[in-house]
Amino acid sequence: MSANEDQEMELEALRSIYEGDESFRELSPVSFQYRIGENGDPKAFLIEISWTETYPQTPPIISMNAFFNNTISSAVKQSILAKLQEAVEVNLGTAMTYTLFEYAKDNKEQFMENHHPINSATSISNIISVETPNTAPSSKKKDKKEQLSKAQKRKLADKTDHKGELPRGWNWVDVVKHLSKTGSKDDE
């Protein structure tokens, strides 16, 4: 089999295996990303594997340069890449993208044991400063709502039932009054 045929077969296999998997992303027919770990997991990381023209006879290009990995130190990234390169050497000549992704998933804890998020304060402050205009008004409203006087709380409690809900129909329009107003206009 030629390298092209091997790549086509592996591409079909990857598409069928990872169909519906939110962690897998096909960037192009020869480039793939896989998120190891759940969303929001501080030890989650993203691996990108790109095939060369002669892959699988030659090693693929493995990268961890995605923005997702910004909080991972370069030493941890190098350690992960070195361990993945060892797996590449063992599997050279065979379809290995799935094997590498699974190897990373199985060894995630070992890979990330020395991980301490870097620049997290900077990135969090950037995120907060970007989102501040959107979140500020709603947080102010919530603060005002929480700071009620005793009289206001008593008044609110008198209006509501034991669950804190207003009684059914509290804002209904007086049907008779409404109909008498609309009916008199029709009679004219």
Q: Residue 49 domain-assigned?
A: yes
Q: Residue 119 domain-assigned?
A: no
Residue 21's pLDDT band (boundaries 50, 70, 90)? confident
Helix (H, G, I), strand (E, B) or coil at 32: strand
pLDDT value of residue 141: 46
When pLDDT is averaged across residues 115-143 and rounded to a whole number, the result is 48
- For residue 28, how far is the Cα from the chain centroid? 21
Residues 128 and 132: their CA atoms lie apart, in Å, by 6
Q: Residue 12 domain-assigned?
A: yes
When pLDDT is averaged across residues 109-137 and rounded to a whole number, the result is 56
Task: Give the pLDDT confidence of 143-152 residue by residue, as tens digits.
Answer: 444 677 888 7
Phi and psi at residue 101, to the nearest 5°:
-60, -45
Residues 106 and 109: their CA atoms lie apart, in Å, by 8
Does 123 have pLDDT greater than 60? Answer: no
Average pLDDT, the chain: 76
Residues 114 and 171: their CA atoms lie apart, in Å, by 60
Residues 50 and 46: their CA atoms lie apart, in Å, by 13
Q: What is the CATH number of the domain that holds 22?
A: 3.10.110.10
pTM (predicted TM-score): 0.57
Residues 142 and 144: their CA atoms lie apart, in Å, by 5
% of the chain residues with pLDDT over 90 = 2
Residues 3 and 73: their CA atoms lie apart, in Å, by 35
Q: Residue 42 domain-assigned?
A: yes
Does 135 have pLDDT greater than 50? Answer: no
**Domain of 76?**
3-112
Task: Give the pLDDT confidence of 38-96 residue by residue, as tens digits.
Answer: 877 888 888 999 988 888 888 899 888 888 888 888 888 888 889 888 888 888 888 88
Q: Cβ-count burial of 149 within 10 angstroms (0-12 exposed, 13-18 middle, 19+ buried)?
A: exposed
Q: Residue 175 domain-assigned?
A: no
CB 157 within 8 A of CB 167: no
Q: Residue 27 domain-assigned?
A: yes
Residues 18 and 59: their CA atoms lie apart, in Å, by 22
The number of distinct structural domains making up the chain is 1
pLDDT value of residue 43: 83
Q: Residue 157 domain-assigned?
A: no
Q: Residue 79 domain-assigned?
A: yes
